[in-house]
A and B are shown apart, each in its own frame.
Chain A
Amino acid sequence: MATSVIDRAPAAHAPEYTGIMSWIKTVDHKRIGILYGSTAFLFFLIGGIEALFMRIQLMKPDNTFVSAETFNALFTMHGTTMIFLGIMPLSAMFFNYFIPLQIGARDVAFPRLNAFSYWVFLLGGLFINFSWLINAAPNAGWFGYANLTERPYSPGLNTDFWVLGLQILGIASVAAAINFFVTIVNLRAPGMKMLRMPMFVWMSFITQILLLLAFPVITIALVFLMMDRHFGTAFFLPDGGGDPIMWQHLFWIFGHPEVYILILPAFGIVSEVLPVFSRKPLFGYTAMVFSGAFIAFLGFGVWSHHMFSTGMGPFADSFFALSTMLIAVPTGVKIFNWIGTLWGGSLQMKTPLYFAVGMVAMFIVGGLSGVMHASPPADLQQTDSYFVVAHFHYVLFGGSIFGLSAGAYYWFPKMFGRMLSEKLGKLHFWLMFLGFNITFFPMHFLGLNGMPRRVYTYPAELNFGFWNQVQTWGSLLLGVSFLVFIYNMWKTSRRPADAPADPWRGATLEWAIPSPPQEFNFADVPPVNSSTPLWDLRRASGGQLPEPQRVSGAGIHMPRPSIWPLVTAFGVLGVLGSILFTHAFHYWFLITLVGVATLFYGVYRWAFEPAF
């Protein structure tokens, strides 16, 4: 192949691809990242509104704001949406945008597969939420316990939307995980050894491994449940010899690694933000890498701590209690190292640092309550109570959402070339911090006082009214904090692009190129001799780096846009969506065949189209 010559002359004009088709056919990881982020943020707001409806219903005893049935749908869809359509794809936004930039790559390993992942995710999210429009929203809880989810107990389409929707989303996740795994293994810049990768890339890498190993298990579990519901089997039906507990095992073998899939990217982001805003390298880099890997490894050996109340016997209870408590050790290592990074640093009190420190603090609270219900006797008191709800909101909201917010403020200038307002950012932080703690801290008390989760109302005599009202006001404050965030983004988008390439004095490669980056990312990748290549450069040049110029970049081969990932994604939707109609329409399999045909057509056109 001929050696390409890259044109480094200043860019005469920005060769911008615009118009709706350029987004539909895009294979650029940065654009796909923005698509992921904007879609996920919309789903996140929907999930938030569902939560606010629940909070308004629980505001006072014997309330009738929503019916019991609606309440069931609200908590099911809130959990499902926040996990699969909110936090996971918000993390995927950062994977997409920043893994290639941080490792100095042109794009991900398989740009079209990346587009495919996004489209499948979008269609899956729309599929699940479509159920609201026909009044059949999933209503059996986000972990869909059999045999409640079996046809005799959930006869409507509600659970089918949930089963098939998760199946579709799983395909998106696994395709994306393969892509990022290969990207990190194979497309690192010269000099970037594994132990020189930025910590966000490391935690993302571990997350992809978890996705690859955990999602096949829920895929199979969902297949079994689908067969039970549509094709007469009895995998989880005691009438036919099946065992509903098997669903719990399969679900949690997926479900526990899933919680690390939700938190590890946030750990990675915080590990990027803390060193940059402390002006010193991450404390204990290697320990951070291995503690992350150890958490992931242990994450596969603790699933039954979600099932203590099923009565597994003393041996299983002890094993899973001990393995669960063991996870506190590598997690403690991480927290120690984050504090060690801040210790003695020259702290830059900017919004990303606020959110990152908030994350560390809130995650400690959630982690401590987690260790409490690692003990089976304590868990039997706490399980299915608001104490558990408090715990997982402290790790998922206090951990993941605070971490992702830190990432949003940290990387917004890189993605959009504009600095978010610091004043509004700090207002967002304080409102969110207060709102979050007012909403979720009292849940500890309510749970220990015996308030069960997932009840749509409670009688006044139980004295749950006071804290519930406090929580509802707190949740409204949380809602306001996100309005401030949206206003901040809107206001910033109306200002001219002003962000320099490196507004925070970052340590990693993404700060070496203009903001926002050009389509080809790097005309030249800086040398990588440590995990902080940009700090090395800055030191070598006496503390100041020249502002990088936009160059024409002619001669760089970029992947060609393609429509076939979208077509293939519609094929996936057709195949799995057709199962909805098994009981409604005798010739439902004709829809499946159309789906299969579309899938094949898409895949063949994709395979035989030149990639560059």
Chain B
Amino acid sequence: MSDAAAHAIEHHTSTGIDSRKVAIWTLIGSECLFFASLISMYLVYKGKSLVGPLPHAESQCMLHGHMQACEQIFEIPLVTFGTAVLLFSSFFVVLALYGAQKGDRKMLIRWLSMTVLCGLFFIGMQVYEFQHFYHKGLGYSTNLFGSTFYTLTGFHGSHVTVGVIWLSTLLVLAIRGKLPAEKSLNLEIAALYWHFVDVVWIVIFPVVYLMR
């Protein structure tokens, strides 16, 4: 075998796809089962809560120390807006990647910062939502709805947080000029993860918020 072929063992791959990219797809495959378990648990326990507050209906719940009527808890318009923002961030990261691949640093930085801002907005929305629910009487251990809801959306939120930290790190690199076109794969991998986190939300949003 020639030296060139020996060299090939080190840097070329059987599929022609970079190993890191195969790895992120593998991770995404594994994460599907992770979220599938959470979503199944939410659905199995849907409507099994012994006390309120409930997502879509008025109910009896413990507020200020005694049982009283409490309203339904979801604020669909806010979450719809947050969903839209998260979906747009997926579009923005594609533009950022296009910029990175072209070597257009300005475009890269502009759209990557937009992506990060959208991610931050989504996290902010979720923090607000959780606080709001808490004040309406829905703690983590109040009822099965609270436990399954916070666990599912909380795990998704922590995935968004990891994504924001990852993309911010790349943004800092881009600003310092350390994300040239030949390293755009670094962004592509983060973007794949980011798209996945968005896709999961596309499932969670109708299942949790819209389905009655």
Contacts and interface: CB of A to CB of B under 8 A. Distances in A.
Interface of A: 1, 3-6, 104-106, 109-110, 174, 177-179, 181-182, 185-190, 192, 212-217, 219-221, 223-224, 227, 231-235, 240-243, 246, 250, 253, 522-525, 527, 556-557, 604
A223 B151 contact: yes
A241 B143 contact: yes
Interface string B1-13: 1011111111101
Interface in B5-61: 5-11, 13-15, 17, 19, 22-23, 26-27, 29-31, 33-34, 36-38, 41, 44-45, 48-50
26 contacts: A1-B11, A3-B3, A3-B7, A4-B7, A109-B19, A110-B23, A182-B23, A185-B22, A187-B9, A212-B33, A216-B30, A216-B31, A219-B34, A220-B41, A221-B37, A227-B140, A227-B147, A231-B140, A232-B140, A235-B45, A235-B147, A240-B143, A241-B45, A525-B1, A527-B1, A557-B10
Contacts of A213: 29-30, 33
A5 B151 CA distance: 54
B144 A240 contact: yes
Contacts of B151: 223-224, 227
A445 B75 CA distance: 62
B14 A188 contact: yes
Nearest to B49: A241
B19 A186 contact: yes
A212 B38 CA distance: 16
Contacts of A182: 19, 22-23, 26
Given A105-B9, A216-B34, A246 B23 contact: no
Contacts of A250: 37, 41
A525 B36 CA distance: 42
Nearest to A178: B26
Given A182-B22, A216-B33, A243-B45, 20 more contacts: A3-B4, A3-B7, A5-B3, A174-B30, A179-B23, A181-B22, A185-B14, A186-B14, A215-B30, A216-B37, A232-B141, A240-B143, A241-B48, A241-B50, A241-B144, A246-B44, A522-B9, A524-B6, A556-B6, A604-B169
Contacts of B37: 216-217, 220-221, 250, 253
A604 B33 CA distance: 27
Interface string B90-117: 0000000000000000000000000000
B144 A106 contact: no
Contact of A242 (B4, B13, B144): B144
Contacts of A523: 6
Interface string B134-164: 0000001101100110010000000000000
A481 to B, nearest CB: 38
Contacts of A231: 140-141
A186 B3 contact: no
Contact of A6 (B6, B23, B45, B50): B6
Contact of B45 (A185, A220, A242, A527): A242
Given A215-B30, A216-B33, A241-B45, A234 B23 contact: no
Contacts of B6: 4, 6, 523-525, 556
Nearest to A174: B30
A242 B145 CA distance: 11
Contacts of B36: 216
A179 B30 CA distance: 13
Contact of A185 (B3, B15, B34): B15
Interface string B111-128: 000000000000000000
B147 A220 contact: no
A217 B33 contact: yes
Given A4-B3, A221-B37, A104 B9 contact: yes
A190 B5 CA distance: 9
Nearest to B19: A109
A126 to B, nearest CB: 26
Contacts of A106: 9-10
Contacts of B13: 186-187
A1 to B, nearest CB: 7
Nearest to B173: A608
Contacts of B26: 178, 181-182, 212
A110 B19 CA distance: 8
Contacts of A192: 14
Most buried by A among B37, B44, B140, B148: B37
Contacts of B31: 216
Nearest to A215: B30
A344 B146 CA distance: 65
Contacts of A557: 10
A513 to B, nearest CB: 13
Most buried by A among B1, B4, B50, B143: B1
A177 B7 CA distance: 26
Most buried by B among A178, A181, A190, A233: A233
A485 B140 CA distance: 53
B126 to A, nearest CB: 18
B185 to A, nearest CB: 14
Contacts of B45: 235, 241-243
* CB-based closest 8 A-B pairs: A232-B141, A216-B34, A220-B37, A186-B13, A216-B33, A233-B147, A212-B30, A109-B19
Contacts of A215: 30
B19 A220 contact: no
B145 to A, nearest CB: 9
